[in-house]
């Protein structure tokens, strides 16, 4: 009961005073009122772990109907409320009826202090267990959507990709916030799941939120949760993603899509390590490991005034940059064979294989859509291909994109020029250069070594 909040509604002020004196040493807060008409406003603005409710309020009327009416109103607000009815000895039948209609229990006047305290403790435990069940159901929903994704396999032996995996192995055991960057289709979510799998939180379900799909109105409800009646469609309490991810990893994809006002709300939650549900004033501590992802240069957005610098520093303790597929040419045959096996099994074409010409073409192609494009290309070829070997005729490679070898050479020239220019502008301060270019210091060192700068 130590951290609990109790509401007592009884028209007898002597009863209110006695109960308040009894409960105050054991509770964080005891709120009393002789007027049941205050119940709706109290429930809208406060959170209570247990409610003690008298059966009768009008003088000379002992039907108990008033108590039953207000019990119904309380449970309509939140069916998980633990309500203890206060009744005289002669109203036991009414009290039993109240229990049948949703009250947790009843106590008789005059009460025994020890029995009353035990009843209130049981009511609080019951309310907490219902909250826990709701949270577990939300986690179960997340688990069902995450099972297939959690089974993702890491494919890659190229030097650039091995660098990424080495950083993942070093960072995973910590609780440091991680920002994963890279072009669309490079596998940012796969790396996030690998970070989670190797972490101390790996036994829990990673919770995924697509920030790009959240509207201004849904943001707080989705992340922080809401209480019943907080807005028009809030017909029941909702557990937010921060609560669902308790003890686990919260993966925020497409973090750059957040508007400035929503960035401020997210920053406040991360700084204070607590959230407040929509429609409530109760602060809920959070225990998450935060991983974010974006295909945008957030440092550039900061310069343009479109992303908060303080939020960037908060989410970017460690940055992991995933190289595009055109820089992982050695991984293309491995990935192609991996996806081929998957789709051969799916479409019952187990004898299919890739011709050497196809593999050569794949290594020359720029793959603007990266691993995701390669995956879809293989799937289409398996569906439409005939015979035992997939040839060039079974694939479509867009002619609008330059071959990978040319793109790499052009990108290298541009990259070298950008790094050299940034080094000059920042007077050789490599930390400032890395921040300006949106890459890690280690990546910058590797590129300086690569280009003999």
Give the number of C-alpha atoms closer than 13 A to the C-alpha of residue 230, restricted to the C-beta side.
21
Strand partners, 87: 108
pLDDT one-digit tens code per residue, 91-147: 678 888 888 999 999 888 888 899 999 999 999 988 888 777 666 666 666 555 544
pTM: 0.61
Q: What is d(CA 224, CA 217) in angstroms, rounded to the nearest whole number?
A: 12
Confidence band (pLDDT; 50, 70, 90) for 419?
Answer: confident
Cα–Cα distances in angstroms (integers) from residue 105 to residues 67, 71, 94, in the given order: 13, 12, 12
pLDDT at position 426? 77
pLDDT at position 409? 45
Read out DSSP for 96-144? Answer: HHHHHTT--EEEEESPPHHHHHHHHHHHHHHHHHHHHHHHHHHHHHHHH
CATH of 152-323, one of 3.40.50.300, 3.30.420.40, 3.90.1150.10, 3.40.570.10: 3.40.50.300
Q: Which of 69, 25, 24, 32 is nearest to 51 (CA)?
A: 32
20: tokens are 């308040």
66 neighbors 10 (Cβ within 8 angstroms): no
- Reply yes or no on whether the pLDDT at 150 is more than 50: no
Region 406-413 average pLDDT:
54
Give the CATH class of 326-401. mainly alpha
Confidence band (pLDDT; 50, 70, 90) for 450?
Answer: confident
Confidence band (pLDDT; 50, 70, 90) for 407?
Answer: very low
pLDDT one-digit tens code per residue, 219-229: 888 999 888 87
**What percentage of the chain reaches a pLDDT higher than 90?**
53
- Reply yes or no on whether the pLDDT at 61 is more than 70: no
Region 366-387 average pLDDT:
92
Same fold across 5-130 and 152-323: yes
pLDDT at position 267? 95
pLDDT at position 408? 44
77-91, 286-300, 397-411, range with greatest mean pLDDT: 286-300
CATH of 405-450, one of 2.30.30, 1.10.10, 1.25.40, 3.40.120: 1.10.10
20 neighbors 30 (Cβ within 8 angstroms): yes
pLDDT one-digit tens code per residue, 187-196: 999 999 999 9
Q: What is the mean pLDDT of the chain?
A: 86
* Helix (H) or strand (E) segment spanning residue 228: none
Query: How wide is the angle at C-alpha 187 spanned by C-alphas 392 and 248, nearest 5°?
Result: 155
Domain boundaries in the chain? 5-130, 152-323, 326-401, 405-450
Q: Please, where are the H alpha helices in 51-112?
A: 65-77, 92-100
CATH topology for the 5-130 domain:
Rossmann fold (3.40.50)
Q: Are strands 238-239 and 225-226 parallel, antiparallel or unpaired?
A: antiparallel
59-73, 271-285, 359-373, range with greatest mean pLDDT: 359-373
Region 329-346 average pLDDT:
94
Region 217-238 average pLDDT:
82
Region 365-373 average pLDDT:
94
**What percentage of the chain reaches a pLDDT higher than 70?**
89
Read out DSSP for 267-330? Answer: HHHHHHTEEE-BT---EEE--EEEEEEESS-HHHHHHTTSS-HHHHHHH-SEEEEPPPGGG-GG
CB atoms within 10 A of CB 101: 13
301 neighbors 257 (Cβ within 8 angstroms): no
Better-predicted residue by pLDDT, 428 or 106:
106
């Amino acid at each position: 009961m130590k951290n609990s909040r109790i509401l007592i509604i009884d028209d007898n002020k002597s009863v209110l005073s006695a109960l308040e004196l009894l409960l105050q040493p054991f509770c964080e807060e005891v709120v009393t009122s002789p007027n049941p008409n205050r119940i709706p406003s109290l429930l809208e603005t406060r959170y209570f772990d247990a409610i003690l409710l008298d059966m009768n309020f009008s003088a000379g009327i002992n039907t108990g109907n008033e108590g039953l009416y207000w019990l119904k109103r309380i449970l309509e607000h939140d069916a998980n409320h633990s309500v203890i009815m206060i009744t005289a000895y002669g109203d036991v039948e009414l009290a039993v009826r109240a229990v049948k209609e949703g009250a947790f229990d009843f106590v008789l006047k005059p009460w025994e202090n020890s029995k009353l305290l035990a009843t209130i403790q049981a009511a609080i435990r019951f309310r907490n267990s219902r909250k826990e069940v709701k949270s577990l159901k939300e986690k179960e929903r997340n688990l069902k959507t995450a099972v297939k994704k959690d089974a993702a396999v890491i494919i890659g032996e190229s030097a650039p990709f091995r660098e990424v995996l080495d950083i993942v192995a070093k960072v995973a055991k910590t609780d440091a916030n991680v920002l994963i960057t890279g072009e669309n289709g490079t596998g940012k979510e796969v790396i996030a799941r690998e970070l989670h799998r190797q972490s101390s939180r790996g036994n829990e379900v990673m919770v995924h939120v697509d920030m790009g799909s959240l509207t201004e109105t849904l943001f707080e409800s989705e992340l922080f949760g809401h209480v019943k009646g907080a807005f028009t469609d809030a017909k029941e309490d909702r557990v937010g993603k921060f609560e669902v991810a308790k003890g686990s990893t919260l993966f925020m994809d497409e973090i750059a899509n957040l508007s400035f006002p929503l960035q401020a709300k997210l920053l406040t939650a991360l700084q204070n390590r607590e959230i407040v549900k929509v429609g409530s004033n109760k602060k809920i501590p959070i225990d998450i490991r935060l991983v974010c992802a974006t295909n945008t240069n957030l440092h550039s957005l900061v310069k343009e005034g479109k992303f908060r610098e303080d939020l960037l520093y908060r989410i970017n303790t460690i940055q992991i940059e995933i190289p595009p597929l055109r820089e992982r040419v050695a991984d293309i045959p491995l990935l192609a064979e991996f996806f081929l096996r998957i789709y051969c099994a799916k479409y019952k074409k187990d004898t299919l294989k890739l011709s050497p010409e196809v593999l050569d073409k794949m290594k020359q192609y720029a793959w603007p859509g990266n691993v995701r494009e390669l995956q879809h290309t293989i799937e289409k070829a398996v569906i439409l291909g005939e015979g035992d070997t997939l040839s060039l005729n079974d694939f479509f490679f867009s002619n609008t994109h330059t071959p990978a070898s040319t793109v790499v050479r052009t990108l290298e020239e541009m990259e070298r020029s950008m790094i050299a220019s940034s080094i000059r502008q920042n007077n050789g301060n490599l930390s400032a250069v890395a921040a300006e270019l949106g890459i890690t210091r280690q990546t910058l060192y590797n590129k300086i070594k690569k280009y003999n700068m």
